[in-house]
């Protein structure tokens, strides 16, 4: 079994799975149950002066029967007295000395930060996370994302906290910014020991069409909230990767955003995260999901021949290229397995209306090409066409010379492994757009001035 333990800027954790600062890490009782379930650490629900919350607080996006593909909230930081939280932190640290507790913090003046940090460290926390990310409520009061969106301010407050802190300081970034490198590098300049991202994305999750008020509805009104959950994962991955590959950022990253299982976690780690944090998936299914995360990640590492999770970290970072450095001569072709096909013909309509008009019904031997398509005249069913075991001649065929290898058909096909994208043998050598730029060969026929 692979070693899952990590060292995050000096903080040792039995595994990379931490609860994000949110309702699942609200109280000591919860955090202890989470540790019993297998979580390696918890970033406590953000501490500061207790706030007042509203009702309701959440809204969600469901998709085709699956609930909470995306979650939106207008909750603020902790609503419990600081001393109560600190007493619980003390107790948890006493009972679970090997597990990680990080205090998430949010406050205003330099003096506030000094007192808050000192109290938390006295309670025994392993590290601090500065919440510069909350995009609702707190930002209206000059905190949260209103700091995260001002690199200079972020750098200065980080510097204050480093003056006072004895434990590592993590800066939690907001994705509500044009270029994530700006706040990320500002954190580094302020002396941060690590970066956490992403916090939630500013959003309106929907509108109650009966009352004509956005949701979540609080009486006759609503407010923008923060969006998280599986839907935000691609945005978070992109931001984590951007920081991981930047030479100016050489501090560990705690990846957050839409992580629901070990695969998501492995992806964040492969793009440069040292630990990962989870909120929505736990709010949806409970702490128990960590069992599969631990097992799945460990099995995966074994199968990849990696002895430790540290070997996976950052492994996919070099695979990221600028678009201009991608090989223009690499080609794929869609191939349908006639015996797996159930004849739904979704690939056909997707290709016709949304791609390159080159998938046709099995019953047609020949089809005239639409005039706007690529070079050739009539599309002829391949000689190798085979009717399927399940779908007979409802198995569509692909006009291969016209297929551009976009793989839309594969994405829409409901049957696993039914459409495969096969590599066309590489003709000649690799060539990128940047190669062409270097050689002055960027002009394609049919331009604006032709």
Partner 1 sequence: MTSLLKKDRLETALPDKKPLYSSAEARAEAERCLYCVDAPCIKACPTEIDIPTFIKKIATGNTRGAASTIFDQNLLGYSCARVCPVEVLCVGDCVYNGWGRDPINIGRLQRFATETAVDHPAKNAAPLRTPKPKIGKKVACIGAGPASLAFAGYLALEGFDADVFEKRSVAGGLNTTGIAPYKLQAEDALHEVAWVESFGVQVKTGIEIGKDIKAEDLVRDYEAVFLGVGLGEDTKLGIPGEDGPSLTRDDAKSLGRVLVIGGGNTAIDVARECAGLGAADVAMVYRRSQKEMSGYAHELEGARLEGVRFVENAVPHSFVRDAGGKLVALRVSKAEGGKPIAGTEHDIPCDLVTLAIGQSKLRSLATQFAGVELDAKGCVKADRETGKTGNPKVYAGGDCINGGKEVVNAVADGRNAARDVLAKLSKGS
The answer to whether the CB of 45 falls within 8 A of the CB of 26 is: yes
Distances (CA, A) of 435 to 320, 343, 440, 444: 18, 43, 9, 15
Q: Binds 28, which of ligand SF4, ligand FMN, partner 1, none (CB < 5 to 8 A, cut-off by type)?
A: none
Look at the alpha carbons of 352, 382, 380, 400 in this order and tell me if their dihedral is positive or negative.
positive
Residue written as token pair 């407050």: 157
Task: Give min distance, CB of 444 to ligand SF4, in A.
Answer: 19
If one asks whether residue 362 binds ligand SF4 (CB under 6 A), the answer comes out as no
Regarding 349 and contact with partner 1 (CB under 8 A), the answer is: yes
Site residues for partner 1, window 378-407 (CB under 8 A)? 390-391, 394
Instruction: Report CA-CA distances (Å) from 140 to 49, 220, 378.
Output: 15, 20, 62
CA-wise closest residue to 187 among 235, 274, 128: 128
CB of 253 to ligand FMN, least distance (A): 13
Is residue 342 close enough to count as binding partner 1 by CB under 8 A? yes
Q: Using CB under 6 A, which of 228, 237, 341, 347 touches ligand FMN?
A: 228
**Which of the ranges 7-15, 203-211, 289-297, 341-349 carries the binding residues for ligand SF4, by CB under 6 A?**
341-349
Q: Which two tokens stand for residue 102?
A: 């990080």
Q: Is 291 exposed, middle or buried (0-12, 13-18, 19+ CB in 10 A)?
A: exposed
Query: Are 267 and 255 contacting, i.e. CB atoms less than 8 angstroms apart?
Result: no
Does the footprint of ligand FMN cover residue 46 (CB under 6 A)? yes
Residue pair 376/339 in contact (Cβ under 8 Å)? The answer is: no
Q: How far is the CB of 337 from ligand SF4 (least distance, A)?
A: 8
* Kind plus residue range of the DSSP H or E element containing 114: helix 110-123
CB of 45 to ligand FMN, least distance (A): 5
Token duo for residue 329: 């001569």
The angle subtended at Cα 263 by Cα 258 and Cα 269, nearest 5°, is 80
What is residue 419's three-state secondary structure?
A: strand
Q: Which of 100, 117, 249, 256 binds ligand FMN (CB under 6 A)?
A: 256
Contact call for residue 26 and ligand FMN (CB under 6 A): no
Decide if residue 232 touches ligand FMN (CB under 6 A): yes
Name the binder of 238 from ligand FMN, partner 1, ligand SF4, none, CB < 5-8 A by kind. none
Q: What is the Cα–Cα distance from 33 to 437, expressed in whole angstroms?
A: 58
Catalytic: which of 134, 139, 279, 358? 134
* Secondary structure element (H or E) that encloses residue 129, with its range: strand 127-131
CB 198 within 8 A of CB 144: no
Which of 404, 431, 434, 436 touches ligand SF4 (CB under 6 A)?
A: 404
Q: Is 418 a catalytic residue?
A: no
Among residues 52, 55, 65, 97, the one that binds partner 1 under rule CB under 8 A: 65
Q: How far is the CB of 273 from ligand FMN (least distance, A)?
A: 13
Q: Which of 6, 251, 259, 395 binds ligand FMN (CB under 6 A)?
A: 259
CA angle 187, 140, 26 (to 5 degrees): 70
By CB under 6 A, name the binding residues for ligand FMN: 20-23, 45-46, 71, 73, 75, 77, 104, 131, 133-134, 172, 199-200, 228-229, 232, 256-259, 278-281
By CB under 6 A, name the binding residues for ligand SF4: 334, 336, 341-347, 351, 355-356, 358-359, 396, 398, 403-409, 412-413, 415, 418-419
Please give the positions annotated as active site: 134
By CB under 8 A, name the binding residues for partner 1: 64-65, 342-346, 348-349, 361, 390-391, 394, 414-415
């Amino acid at each position: 079994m692979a070693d899952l333990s990590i060292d995050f800027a000096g903080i040792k954790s039995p595994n990379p799975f931490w609860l994000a600062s949110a309702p699942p890490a609200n109280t000591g009782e919860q955090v202890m149950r989470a540790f019993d379930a297998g979580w390696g650490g918890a970033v406590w629900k953000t501490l500061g002066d207790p706030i007042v919350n509203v009702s309701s607080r959440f809204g969600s996006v469901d998709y085709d029967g699956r609930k909470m593909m995306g979650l939106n909230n207008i909750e603020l930081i902790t609503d419990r007295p600081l001393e109560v939280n600190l007493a619980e932190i003390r107790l948890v640290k006493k009972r679970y000395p090997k597990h990680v507790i990080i205090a998430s913090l949010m406050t205003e003046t330099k003096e506030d930060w000094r007192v808050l940090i000192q109290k938390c460290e006295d309670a025994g926390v392993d590290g601090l996370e500065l919440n510069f990310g909350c995009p609702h409520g707190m930002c209206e009061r000059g905190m949260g994302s209103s700091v995260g969106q001002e690199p200079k301010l972020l750098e200065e407050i980080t510097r204050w906290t480093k003056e006072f802190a004895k434990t590592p300081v993590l800066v939690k970034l907001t994705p509500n910014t044009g270029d994530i490198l700006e706040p990320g590098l500002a954190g580094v300049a302020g002396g941060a020991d690590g970066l956490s991202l992403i916090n939630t994305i500013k959003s309106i999750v929907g509108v109650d069409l009966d009352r004509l008020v956005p949701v979540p509805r609080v009486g006759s009104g609503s407010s923008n909230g923060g969006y998280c959950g599986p839907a935000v994962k691609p945005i978070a991955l992109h931001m984590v990767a951007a920081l991981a590959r930047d030479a100016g950022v050489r501090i560990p990253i705690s990846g957050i955003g839409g992580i629901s299982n070990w695969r998501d976690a492995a992806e964040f780690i492969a793009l440069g995260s040292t630990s990962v944090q989870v909120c929505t998936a736990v709010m949806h299914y409970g702490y128990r999901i960590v069992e599969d995360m631990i097992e799945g990640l460990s099995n995966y590492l074994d199968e990849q021949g990696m002895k430790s999770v540290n070997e996976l970290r950052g492994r996919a970072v070099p695979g990221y290229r600028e678009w201009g450095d991608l090989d223009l001569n690499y080609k794929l072709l869609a191939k349908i397995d006639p015996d797996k096909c159930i004849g739904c013909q979704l690939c056909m309509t997707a290709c016709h209306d949304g791609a390159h008009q080159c998938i046709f019904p099995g019953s047609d031997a020949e089809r005239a090409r639409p005039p706007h398509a690529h070079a050739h005249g009539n599309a002829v069913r391949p000689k190798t066409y085979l009717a399927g075991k399940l779908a007979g001649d409802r198995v569509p065929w692909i006009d291969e010379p016209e297929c551009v290898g976009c793989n839309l058909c594969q994405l829409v096909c409901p049957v696993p492994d039914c459409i495969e994208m096969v590599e066309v043998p590489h003709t000649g050598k690799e060539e990128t757009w940047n190669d062409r730029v270097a050689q002055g060969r960027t002009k394609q026929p049919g331009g604006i001035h032709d």
